[in-house]
Amino acid sequence: MIQRITLAAAALTAALTGPLRAENEAVTAFTLDNGMEVVVIEDHRAPVVQQMVWYRAGSADEPPGQSGVAHFLEHLLFKGTDKLAPGELSATVRANGGQDNAFTSYDYTAYFQRVASDRLELMMQMESDRMTNLRLGEEDIATEREVILEERNQRTDNDPVALFREQLQAVQYLNHRYGQPVIGWRHEMESLDMADALSFYQTYYAPNNAILVVSGDVGPDDVKALAEEYYGVIPANPELPERFRSQEPPQTAARRLTFEDPRVAQPYVQRSYLAPERDSGAQQKAAALYLLAELLGGGNTSYLANALQFDQQVAVYSGAFYSGSSLDDTSFTFLVVPAEGVSMQQAEEALDATIARFLEAGVDEAQLERIKLQLRAAEIYNRDNVNGIANRYGQALSIGLTVQDVQDWPKILQSVTADEIIAAANEVLRPETSVTGWMSRGQEVTQ
């Protein structure tokens, strides 16, 4: 055992000190004649396969007045088709020892099954069937509408943190559909009907708006043959609309929100700024912002943690967050939980002063190299996660990136310089473009 650990450590050290090669992932991509994109990620270490179908349609693509319809349709897709009884797809997956589920976000909706690799054809049979043959009754609509309303009760309405973040998102995005919750506003969810669900389904659930990602113990030739047999025969939607979204106007004044709820367990300050997303062939700025978040608030050794938690002891937690995985502008966010006896105002002022000192002092090169080393290690370990790899490619293609962009991302992160990070910070972290929220139990905390 000691020898094996030593050899593994030696291999990891060699990988970390050498160039990072994303081509180690055996990825094959092709497009079916009807426009459906297919990505195959080979991993033959276990006889398991995961099939994912990603639709380029999420809550930000919903018509006005129908917030929540994308998530509603996700639920309805587990109802019946001409060939499958309601619930039969999931029951079949379980009977074959597998797992299945689905999820909806702002820019996409995805469905997946994880089964033994010799069951892939059965999964394609069922998934391709519900792409085009969904059959719904009014009872299905009424039942699932109650299900999603109860989900909102549990996950949002009964959680003050979720309510606070929902309001902050609405303040951050005044004109873009990212300002509405993925699950929907309750008053609009209550009126969702059969026509709304079928309209969204018939518009967006088509092979030329979908990406098939198959990862695990499979070969690309076998996947291509099965995909052509089951998905390739489905006609493309010739009337698929252009993916147009209203964009945010320039923000010229700081925005503020105070949220009070007696259920709040831990008051905190949250600050966000609009920030550019990852764009195909132009990911350098997003990489700089990703590293900025790691430097400022990526753990107990970050700049904010050292300044606010250890040196000044005005906070018990601090963090910075950025994810460029969106179709349109995303956000760069800070979070500070004040220490006992520290007001929200004091915590916010300490955050501002600390960010200003960071921008003036510049990036610590040793800290930057340490973070890059950690990212190289994480990239190597992530290759052991078939589900994570499939999600990475599916999400990327859903927001307009390419397979090459995904494979270039680790190298771009390693190439970012300290000057590029400070330039990105100065561009994004401007006071007049900030949105600041205070969440507390009441007046005794906020001052």
- pLDDT of amino acid 21: 41
Task: Domain count for the chain, please give it.
Answer: 2
Question: Where a domain ends, among 230, 264, 285?
Answer: 230
Domain annotation covers residue 240: no
- Residues whose CB falls within 8 Å of the CB of residue 34, separated by 6 or more in sequence, listed in order: 207, 208, 231, 232, 234, 235, 236
Pair (147, 295) in one structural domain: no
Spatial distance between the Cα atoms of 421 and 363, rounded to a whole number of angstroms: 8
Question: DSSP label at 255?
Answer: E
User: Other C-beta atoms within 10 Å of 394: how many?
Assistant: 22
- Give the CATH number of the domain where residue 93 resides: 3.30.830.10
Whole-angstrom CA distances from 335 to 236, 421, 435 are 45, 20, 12
Q: Is 277 a catalytic residue?
A: no
The size of the chain, in residues, is 447
Identify the helix (H) or strand (E) that includes residue 116.
strand 109-116
Pair (150, 290) in one structural domain: no
**What is the sign, positive or negative, of the torsion defined by CA atoms of 408, 411, 413, 419?**
negative
Pair (127, 267) in one structural domain: no
- pLDDT of amino acid 379: 87
3-state secondary structure of 45: coil
Strand 434-440, strand 255-260: pairing: parallel
Domain annotation covers residue 78: yes
What are the beta bridge partners of residue 104? Answer: 109
- pLDDT of amino acid 384: 77
Whole-angstrom CA distances from 75 to 25, 115, 339 are 33, 21, 42
Domain annotation covers residue 420: yes
Q: Dig out the tokens for 312 from the structure.
A: 């000044």
Domain annotation covers residue 9: no
Q: Dig out the tokens for 288 from the structure.
A: 């700089």
Pair (223, 260) in one structural domain: no
Pair (226, 284) in one structural domain: no
Domain annotation covers residue 3: no
- Is-contact 88 68, C-beta < 8 A? no
Q: Which of 442, 257, 268 is nearest to 339 (CA)?
A: 268
**pLDDT by position in tens, the chain (length 447):** 333 333 333 334 444 444 444 445 799 999 999 999 999 999 999 999 999 999 999 999 999 999 999 999 999 999 999 999 999 999 999 999 999 999 999 999 999 999 999 999 999 999 999 999 999 999 999 999 999 999 999 999 999 999 999 999 999 999 999 999 999 999 999 999 999 999 999 999 999 999 999 999 999 999 999 999 999 999 999 999 999 899 999 999 999 999 999 999 999 999 999 999 999 999 999 999 999 999 999 999 999 999 999 999 999 999 999 999 999 999 999 999 999 999 999 999 999 999 999 999 999 999 999 999 999 998 888 877 777 899 999 999 999 999 999 999 999 999 999 999 999 999 999 999 999 999 999 864 443
Pair (431, 376) in one structural domain: yes
- pLDDT of amino acid 443: 65
Residue 422: what are its φ and ψ, rounded to 5°? -65, -40
Domain annotation covers residue 331: yes
State which amino acid sits at residue 39.
V
Pair (355, 287) in one structural domain: yes
H helix count then E strand count, the chain: 17, 11
Pair (183, 289) in one structural domain: no
Domain annotation covers residue 15: no
Pair (356, 407) in one structural domain: yes
Q: Which residues span the domain enclosing 345?
A: 255-446
Pair (216, 272) in one structural domain: no
Pair (58, 168) in one structural domain: yes
Domain annotation covers residue 57: yes
Which is the catalytic residue, given 25, 62, 74, 277?
74
Alpha-helical regions (H) of 180-252: 186-189, 194-204, 220-230
Pair (105, 37) in one structural domain: yes
Q: Dig out the tokens for 208 from the structure.
A: 């030329």
3-state secondary structure of 117: helix
Whole-angstrom CA distances from 15 to 373, 375, 379, 408, 417 are 10, 12, 10, 17, 21
Q: Which of 102, 34, 112 is nearest to 70 (CA)?
A: 102
Spatial distance between the Cα atoms of 286 and 159, rounded to a whole number of angstroms: 31
pTM for this model (two decimals): 0.91
